[in-house]
Amino acid sequence: MKIKSRVDHYNINVRDLHKSLDFYEKALGMKEVRRKKADDGSFILVYIGEEATNFTLELTWLRDWDRAYNLGDNEQHLCVRVENDYEETYAYHKKNGWVCYENEAMGLYFISDPDGYWIEILALNRK
């Protein structure tokens, strides 16, 4: 059997939903596409996406979570490719204090969201 699949969404948990939504819109142009709230108010799921694909990032907010998330070694990451000028995007991310790691030799850098999740930034045409 040959399995055919398609990536639908990726989930991260966030402490401050409004702060995270603001970050992802400003840093990556991602906007809310749908939302689900628990009837008892215990959680909110917000799916954000960009215009080019159907992929969404699910931001999960838990009402009763009272501490920062333990990201361990944080070896997992989301990677996005920017369609606009890569150097201009880098300068914008740097100016806002979001760049947390740079690898000029590989032509990439990472930004960090409000909860400490890393996002790899690549140029659209980079292989």
Structure tokens at 53: 């694909």
75 annotated active-site: no
Residue 41 CA to residue 37 CA, distance in Å, equals 7
For residue 17, what are the contacts with CB-CB under 8 A and spacing of at least 6? 44, 46, 59, 61
In which residue are the tokens 């490719």 written? 81
Considering 32, 50, 58, 120, which one is annotated as catalytic? 120
* Residues recognised as catalytic: 120
